């Protein structure tokens, strides 16, 4: 195997581990209500930039640095978020 490829894979794994630690720290530091509010704010930004049809759950998760599983803990779908934002 190429030494550069191995180096890249190790660095990628380290980056993933750091990101996972950052996510866990974020969830511990912020309360559930604040995380829910952050998801709504991020979704609102994504909807304004890309439109509802082009926005995916992954876009919101990437923006906040959370997993899709964390997103699903607070909201079932983008439609639910849209309804909440509409009522605001």
Query: What confidence tens digit (pLDDT) does each residue in 35-81 have?
Result: 889 899 999 999 999 899 999 999 999 888 888 998 999 999 999 99
**Residue 88: pLDDT band with limits 50, 70, 90:** confident
pLDDT at 30: 65
Rounded to two decimals, what is the model's pTM? 0.66
**Residue 27: pLDDT band with limits 50, 70, 90:** low
Q: For residues 80 and 5, which has the higher predicted lDDT (pLDDT)?
A: 80
Residue pair 77/63 in contact (Cβ under 8 Å)? The answer is: no
Which residues have CB under 8 Å from 71's CB, separation 6+? 39, 57, 60, 61
The answer to whether residue 82 scores a pLDDT higher than 70 is yes
CB atoms within 10 A of CB 64: 18
Which CATH architecture fits 32-88? Answer: Orthogonal Bundle (1.10)
């Amino acid at each position: 195997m190429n030494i550069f490829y191995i180096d890249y894979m190790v660095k990628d794994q380290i980056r993933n581990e750091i990101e996972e630690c950052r996510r866990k720290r974020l969830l511990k530091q912020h309360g559930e209500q604040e995380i829910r509010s952050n998801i709504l704010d991020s979704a609102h930004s994504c909807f304004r930039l890309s439109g509802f049809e082009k926005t995916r759950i992954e876009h919101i998760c990437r923006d906040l640095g959370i997993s899709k599983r964390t997103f699903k803990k607070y909201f079932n779908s983008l439609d639910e978020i849209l309804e909440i934002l509409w009522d605001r």
